[in-house]
């Protein structure tokens, strides 16, 4: 595996490198794209290139082409203004699909390169990746080529024989180190076919996993949301392995995924800084120990139980100390006990965010919980915010008695964990925790829900009241170009999601009518035309108090956009 670049160049042209929209992509066609990107990179001044492409095969071609031209590639998890602005000060050019103002480049139809395939130096400065941001602001991490080569060799040694020549199907993005390794570099090196598109919908996933022998590269957030009602029998026949990374997979989620998919997920523990460290296949709630990967040494730092690791996956030969607390659990195995950087001081009181989250879940009122430190306002003390996905019991309390009652119950559950001064001052109740393309719930995503960060994108339209009577309202509504809900929906042609249209209709109606508190359902829902940013539309709302219904209609001079009838009750 140490010279897999030469193997790539020598692979037969008719071999299948991947699949795109149901059609195979031949290796010869893939290498032609690599050389086109190489030609573009060779004529581009500078050595630092930012790369973003959603299509994994196109991304792989661009990455290899840039490397063959001697470029260092910077990866970003998204293309929002803040991320691109940070990259602009570090790179010489943008390749791929970035917003227009960054003048991103792609190969021209005439681009080609006939230079021979180069054997790249192991110490080449190949990549700069970014940490996920789950515990703070994303940090840039440089990677030498030898680090990626070592990781690919480790993965093949561990799992290659069991997987065989299986396709690689993923729900995660290749723009982060986990997806990059499992979805792009490892399959390229081993000759496994890559599926170009991430599968975001369970229906797509169930159908694709049933087609050919395959491997699923996923995250805990995706695996725990697999719906039981879909037909997973094809997946049970074809799946050779399921991988999960980005956070711990709860035992009950691992059990449910194994039952549906016929394959117990293999969890991967590591980070952008360290690369892969350990893995586990959780067969029961008590089986939570991690086993170090081949070539990875670990130890517990003296006196503080912090994990230290040493391996060829690191940028140096020495030991690296992590913020994770560990406990030995037998030969080459350890238990993770939480992160030391989730220990804070508020008003000189030491608190553990992990302990607070565990107490919230133990209350029986929260399925999931995250606690984060809010942006500090000058002159005010530090404050925490709690983000909670309620259990059915919690949801019932919220519906019956309101937010203040659920706040009080959860505060009481925390009273044995932290002192009153450190209790969360802000609470958000969610249907599910927000996740990014890597399936991670980041601190930035959580704080954006508070709506008070300096760069928080708006979540509501610009609205003007045009007409109103007792049961009828007509509004003029415009979607801001930087609306939060446009991000990723869709990257090249942003449109307003249908679920947001329904939510806005209900939100606006509650300002003008007395609606029953409980949403009962929706009838005659239709979406006829998309709603685009900065294009005004009208929203007509008609309330029938006797039937507890709300009729809504989005329209413009182009005709109807969407409409339906929403049912409410007590």
* Domain assignment of residue 455, yes or no: no
- In angstroms, the first-to-last Cα distance of the chain is 63
Task: Write down which residue in 321, 346, 371 finishes a domain.
Answer: 346
Q: What is the CATH number of the domain that holds 17?
A: 3.40.50.980
Low-confidence ranges of the chain (pLDDT < 50): 1, 453-455
CA distance 479 to 554: 12
Specify whether 299 is located in the same domain as 280: yes
* Domain assignment of residue 166, yes or no: no
* Domain assignment of residue 51, yes or no: yes
Specify whether 384 is located in the same domain as 336: no
Task: Write out the residue range of the structural domain in which residue 257 sits.
Answer: 201-346
Specify whether 375 is located in the same domain as 281: no
User: In angstroms, how far is CA 369 from the centroid of its own chain?
Assistant: 17
Task: Return the pLDDT at 252.
Answer: 86
Specify whether 216 is located in the same domain as 311: yes
- Name the residue among 315, 518, 244 with its Cα closest to residue 400: 518
Specify whether 264 is located in the same domain as 396: no
Q: What is the largest CA-CA distance in the chain?
A: 77
Specify whether 433 is located in the same domain as 366: yes
Specify whether 393 is located in the same domain as 493: no
Cα-based distances in Å from 524 to 501, 513, 539, 566: 15, 21, 17, 9
Q: Which residues, other chains included, contact 510 with Cβ-Cβ below 8 Å and sequence gap of 6+? A: none
Give the 3-state secondary structure of residue 470.
coil
| Number of domains the chain is built from | 4
Specify whether 500 is located in the same domain as 406: no
Give the 3-state secondary structure of residue 203.
helix
Task: Write down which residue in 448, 475, 502 finishes a domain.
Answer: 448
Q: What is the CATH number of the domain that holds 424?
A: 3.30.300.30
DSSP 206-265: HHHHTTSSEEEEE-HHHHTT--TTS--HHHHHHEEEEEEESSPPPHHHHHHHHHHHSSPP
- Under a CB-based contact definition with an 8 Å cutoff, are residues 550 and 507 in contact? no
Specify whether 413 is located in the same domain as 467: no
Task: Return the pLDDT at 284.
Answer: 54
DSSP 125-155: EEEEEE---SSSS--EEEEEHHHHHHHHHHH
Task: Return the pLDDT at 119.
Answer: 85
- Under a CB-based contact definition with an 8 Å cutoff, are residues 413 and 355 in contact? no
Task: Return the pLDDT at 202.
Answer: 87
Report the chain's C-alpha Rg in angstroms: 26
Task: Return the pLDDT at 455.
Answer: 45
Specify whether 17 is located in the same domain as 87: yes
Return the residue matching tokens 């390794």: 181
Strand (E) or helix (H) holding 375: none
Q: What is the CATH number of the domain that holds 239?
A: 3.40.50.12780
* Domain assignment of residue 454, yes or no: no
Task: Write down which residue in 414, 448, 482 finishes a domain.
Answer: 448
Give the 3-state secondary structure of residue 67.
helix
Specify whether 427 is located in the same domain as 479: no
Helices 403-414 and 353-362: crossing angle, nearest 10°?
120
Burial of 454 (0-12, 13-18, 19+ CB in 10 A): exposed
Cα-based distances in Å from 199 to 181, 186, 216, 516: 17, 19, 10, 38
* Domain assignment of residue 546, yes or no: yes
Task: Return the pLDDT at 492.
Answer: 58
Return the residue matching tokens 């019991």: 393
- Per residue, the 3-state secondary structure of 392-417, as one string, reads HHHHHHHHHHCHHHHHHHHHHHHCCC
* Domain assignment of residue 412, yes or no: yes
Strand partners, 449: none
pTM of the model: 0.69
Strand partners, 217: 170, 243
- Name the residue among 271, 256, 163 with its Cα closest to residue 217: 163
* Domain assignment of residue 164, yes or no: no
* Domain assignment of residue 456, yes or no: no
Burial of 74 (0-12, 13-18, 19+ CB in 10 A): buried
Specify whether 32 is located in the same domain as 178: yes
């Amino acid at each position: 595996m140490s010279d897999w670049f030469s193997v790539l160049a020598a692979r037969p042209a008719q071999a299948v490198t991947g699949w795109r929209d149901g059609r195979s992509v031949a290796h010869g066609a893939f290498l032609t794209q690599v050389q086109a990107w190489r030609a573009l990179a060779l004529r581009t001044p500078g050595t630092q290139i930012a790369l973003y492409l959603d299509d994994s095969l196109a991304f792989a071609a661009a990455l290899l082409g840039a490397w063959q031209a001697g470029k260092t590639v910077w990866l970003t998890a998204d293309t929002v203004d803040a991320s691109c602005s940070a990259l602009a000060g570090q790179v010489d050019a943008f390749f791929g699909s970035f917003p227009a103002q960054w003048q991103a480049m792609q190969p021209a139809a005439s681009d080609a390169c006939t230079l021979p395939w180069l054997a790249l130096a192991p110490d080449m400065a190949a990549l700069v990746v970014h940490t996920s941001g789950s515990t703070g602001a994303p940090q840039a991490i440089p990677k030498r080529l030898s680090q990626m080569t070592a990781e690919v060799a480790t993965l093949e040694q561990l799992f290659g024989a069991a997987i065989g020549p299986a396709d690689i199907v993923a729900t995660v993005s290749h723009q982060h180190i986990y997806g990059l390794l499992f979805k792009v570099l490892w399959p390229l090196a081993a000759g496994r076919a890559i599926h170009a598109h991430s599968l975001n919908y369970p229906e797509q996933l169930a159908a694709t996993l049933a087609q050919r022998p395959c491997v699923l590269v996923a995250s805990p957030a995706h695996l725990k949301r697999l719906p039981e009602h879909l037909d997973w029998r094809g997946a049970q026949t074809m799946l050779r392995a399921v991988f999960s990374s980005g956070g711990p997979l709860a035992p009950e989620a691992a059990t449910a995924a194994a039952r549906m998919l016929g394959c117990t997920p293999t969890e991967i523990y590591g980070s952008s800084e360290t690369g892969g460290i350990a893995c586990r296949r959780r067969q029961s709630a008590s089986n939570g120990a991690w086993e170090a990967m081949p070539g990875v040494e670990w130890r517990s730092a003296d006196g503080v139980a912090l994990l230290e690791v040493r391996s060829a996956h690191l940028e140096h030969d020495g030991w690296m100390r992590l913020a994770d607390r560990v406990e030995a659990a037998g030969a080459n195995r350890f238990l993770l006990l939480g992160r030391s950087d989730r220990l804070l001081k508020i008003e000189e009181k030491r608190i553990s965010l992990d302990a607070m989250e565990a107490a919230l879940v133990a209350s029986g009122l929260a399925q999931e919980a995250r606690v984060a430190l809010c942006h500090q306002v000058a002159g005010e003390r530090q404050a925490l915010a709690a983000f909670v996905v309620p259990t059915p019991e919690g949801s019932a309390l919220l519906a019956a008695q309101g937010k203040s009652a659920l706040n009080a119950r959860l505060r009481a559950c925390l009273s044995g964990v932290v002192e009153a001064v450190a209790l969360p001052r802000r609470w958000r109740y969610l249907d599910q925790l927000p996740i990014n393309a890597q399936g991670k719930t980041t601190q930035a995503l959580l704080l954006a829900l508070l709506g008070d960060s300096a760069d928080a994108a708006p979540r509501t339209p610009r609205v003007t009241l045009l007409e109103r009577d007792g049961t009828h309202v007509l509004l003029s509504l415009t979607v801001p170009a930087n609306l939060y809900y446009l991000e990723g929906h869709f990257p090249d042609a942003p449109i307003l999601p249908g679920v947001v249209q329904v939510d806005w209709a209900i939100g606006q109606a509650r300002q003008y009518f007395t609606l029953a508190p409980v949403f009962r359902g929706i009838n005659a829902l239709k979406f006829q035309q998309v709603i685009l940013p900065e294009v005004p539309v009208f929203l007509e709302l008609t309330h029938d108090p006797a039937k507890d219904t709300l009729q809504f209609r989005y329209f413009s001079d182009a005709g109807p956009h969407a409409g339906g009838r929403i049912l409410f009750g007590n």
